[in-house]
Amino acid sequence: MQDVTVVRTSVQPPYAAHLRVYEPLAAYPEPERARWQAYAAEHGPDAAEAARPVAAAVLAEQREALAELAARTPRALPERESGRAYLRAVDGVLYVCPWATRLRSWQALEALREGAPVALLDAAVPPVVREAAEADRERWLAGHPDARPWILTSRWEVPVRWFLPFGDEDRCFVPGGADEEGEGAGERPAALFYLVPMAQARRRVARAYRALREAVPEGRLVLGAEQVGRWLEEFHPRSLVELDYGGLVHLLGPERLLADRSAGELEEGLRALRAGDTAEAVRVYAELTGRWRRVQALRHAN
């Protein structure tokens, strides 16, 4: 990915990327397994399986979130946990990534509380609403101590640490084009995602963490590698890990997506670091982070 241009549309999509874990159906205990099996029978995994992202399901999740916000009484989080999931079928195996919308809403509210100015926070989510949501969260966690989200979301950028589980060979670029229904259906946007088995993702993150700890023990990427590694360890070892550029495809445009090799660049930097060429590793990292900072700056142009 080189320089970046803004792609404007009549409807502004959420400029967000997603890191997802799909666990095999067998990883879910009963009766949850039977419920997801029935859900898959009704909705089916993405028709193209691993060949393109779960775009239709992403749109459905966005619409559900907007419905919550547009309600007569806007809610800080859903009243009950979502019973929906992203599905993938690879080599005859069904993989499930639950939306876990309520859990993710609690986490988003916590991030907002830590990062937003108090005046803005109080205007968006009044203190009494936050207190009720936090009390609800504590009650729920008491009965679900091992709860963790299957999906991480980042707005306006792909965090550099998210590329650690992937190699350039895991990259899949899907050009945009007309929908199958014909000319009246409009244009399907381009897509860019990475998909890799969990075992390989964990190995890559562990190798990167060791190399970074030896070279720059206090660096931000070291902490990021540790965070990603710990999150991945929460899931079944035969899961799939997916990095989906999501709504960022609308921001970057197909030409920039086609040229993007962020995971491969980070791999090159880590190879240089392991070979003792710290200067080259720093150069690659600075170039990569600088490029994504320029993408973040585009929020002011939209």
Please name which of 240, 37, 54, 46 lies closest in space to residue 150, comparing C-alpha atoms: 240
Which pLDDT does position 198 carry in this prediction? 98
**281 and 215 Cβ atoms separated by less than 8 Å:** yes
Contact of 150 with 156, CB cutoff 8 Å: no
Rounded Cα distance between 103 and 34, Å, is 22
Average of per-residue pLDDT across 115-121: 66
User: Looking at residues 86-102, what average pLDDT do you find?
Assistant: 88
What distance in Å separates the CA atoms of residue 244 and residue 58, rounded to the nearest whole number?
10
Report whether 254 contacts 175 (CB < 8 A).
Answer: yes
Helix 262-274 with 278-297: angle, nearest 10 deg? 160
Amino acid at 104: R
**Of residues 142 and 217, more confidently modeled:** 217
Q: Which region among 22-36, 241-255, 264-278 has the lowest average model confidence (pLDDT)?
A: 241-255
Average pLDDT over residues 203-227: 93
Cα 166 to Cα 196, 197, 205: the distances in Å are: 7, 10, 9
Q: Are 88 and 54 in contact (CB under 8 A)?
A: yes
Q: Which of 177, 162, 152 is nearest to 254 (CA)?
A: 177
Nearest one of 223, 212, 226, 213 to 269, comparing CA atoms = 212
For 10, residues 6+ apart whose C-beta sits below 8 A from its C-beta are none
CA 127, chain centre distance (Å): 29
Residue 23 phi, psi (nearest 5) = -95, 145
Run of H or E residues at 97 = strand 93-98
Residue 179's pLDDT is: 57
Helices (H), 45-145: 55-69, 101-115, 118-124, 127-143
Q: What's residue 166's pLDDT?
A: 98
Range from 37-46, 53-62, 219-228, 251-260 carrying the lowest mean pLDDT = 53-62
In whole angstroms, give the CA distance from residue 184 to residue 10. 17
